[in-house]
Structure 1
Amino acid sequence: MSRLVPHPLMSATLLLAWLLLTRFSVGMALLGAAVALIAGLAMAPLGMPAVRIRNWTKVIRLLGIVSVDVVRSNIAVVRLILSGPDACAARASFLELDMSLRDRHALTVLAVIITSTPGTTWVEYDPESGRLMLHVLDLIDAAYLTRQIHERYEALLLEIFE
């Protein structure tokens, strides 16, 4: 099975996304399955190991936390934008964090979380030192945000992937 579907989680996710974005029919399901299988086979020569989820309950918890954080960030960014350009420029800053994460999949998920949260952008990551640089639109307390990222995201990602 692993030769035919070397990346089952990626293939299943791709098929699910395909079915959600198209009208459901048998033909679309078959085409989506073919695309998902071909994409999984195309990933095999890249030498990327298949994703191994160690704790599915933590995945669900992380999804809930991220969903709430994205909604809160959307509200905060809207308020900031409506308060005028001076408010945005006053507290925009770069933040450097020392990360314990080393797994490529976990880092990819963290990059997606940070980038999809309004007001934060993943700028740079140094794999040798584990140093992550972010740009934050409204940085009020650097120590608090650092603690939040470590406790809310990094800790769960460590339990999920490593």
Structure 2
Amino acid sequence: MKRWLPHPVLSILLFITWLLLSADLSLAHIVLAAILAWAIPYVCRSFLAGLPPIKNPLAALRLLFVVTYDIVVANVVVARLILGSTKKLRPLFVEMPIALTQPMSISLLASIITMTPGTVSAELTDDNHVLIIHALDCADPSALIADIQNRYEKPLMEIFGC
């Protein structure tokens, strides 16, 4: 079974997503959703082979809501910053030590930081222990680091059991 359907949860999510996006429950869309739900994970199985298992799905759902909320709020904050006086901006590079060890969880952390307007993951050091982040406006680097660690890194550690 695992050989022909390598990621069943992903297949189910792809099937549901296709039907929601197409907003059509005709037989043609159901068949297309089934084909895509099987083919995408099957073709991408070698890329998905190193994924760590999710230990706490509820924590993943909570993190999804936190990230979505933070993106919405950060969009408003960045819009105000950009529309206001740019002389008040305090751009800054911050070196954040990370406790995550799995490459996928580190990548997810960097992606979450980059998706949140006002911050960008700029670089990961060679030893994978420090993430360099650029902040558009940062008055307190230690508060930014603590916020990222509490809101994103700790939940990722809980999700993947790092």
**Shared fold, TM over 0.5:** yes
User: 1:15–1:108: structure 2 CA closer, same or farther, 3 Å change rule?
Assistant: farther
Q: Greater shift after overlay, 72-81 or 37-46?
A: 37-46
Corresponding residue of 2:40:
39
Amino acid at match of 1:32: A
Corresponding residue of 1:78:
79
SS in structure 2 at match of 1:45: helix
Structure 2 distance, partners of 1:156, 1:82, is 33
Q: Greater shift after overlay, 147-156 or 28-37?
A: 28-37
Q: Greater shift after overlay, 126-135 or 148-157?
A: 126-135
Structure 1 distance, partners of 2:159, 2:128, is 22
| Contact 2:57–2:159 (CA under 8 A) maintained in structure 1 | yes
Structure 2 distance, partners of 1:13, 1:105, is 20
- Normalising by the residue count of structure 2, what TM-score does the alignment of the two structures yield? 0.86
SS in structure 2 at match of 1:95: strand
| Contact 1:7–1:50 (CA under 8 A) maintained in structure 2 | no
Greater than 4 Å deviation, 4+ residue runs: none
User: 1:11–1:112: structure 2 CA closer, same or farther, 3 Å change rule?
Assistant: farther
Q: CA RMSD in A?
A: 2.0
Displacement of 1:44 in angstroms is 2.3
User: 1:114–1:108: structure 2 CA closer, same or farther, 3 Å change rule?
Assistant: same
- Normalising by the residue count of structure 1, what TM-score does the alignment of the two structures yield? 0.86
Corresponding residue of 2:20:
20
Displacement of 1:149 in angstroms is 1.0
Question: What whole-Å deviation, never above 9, does each CA across 1:6-65 have from its counterpart, x for those lacking one?
Answer: 123333333333223223233222212212211211222347234511112211221222
| Contact 1:56–1:160 (CA under 8 A) maintained in structure 2 | yes
Corresponding residue of 1:117:
116
| Contact 1:123–1:135 (CA under 8 A) maintained in structure 2 | yes
Corresponding residue of 1:108:
107
| Contact 1:7–1:51 (CA under 8 A) maintained in structure 2 | no
Aligned residues: 160
SS in structure 2 at match of 1:140: coil
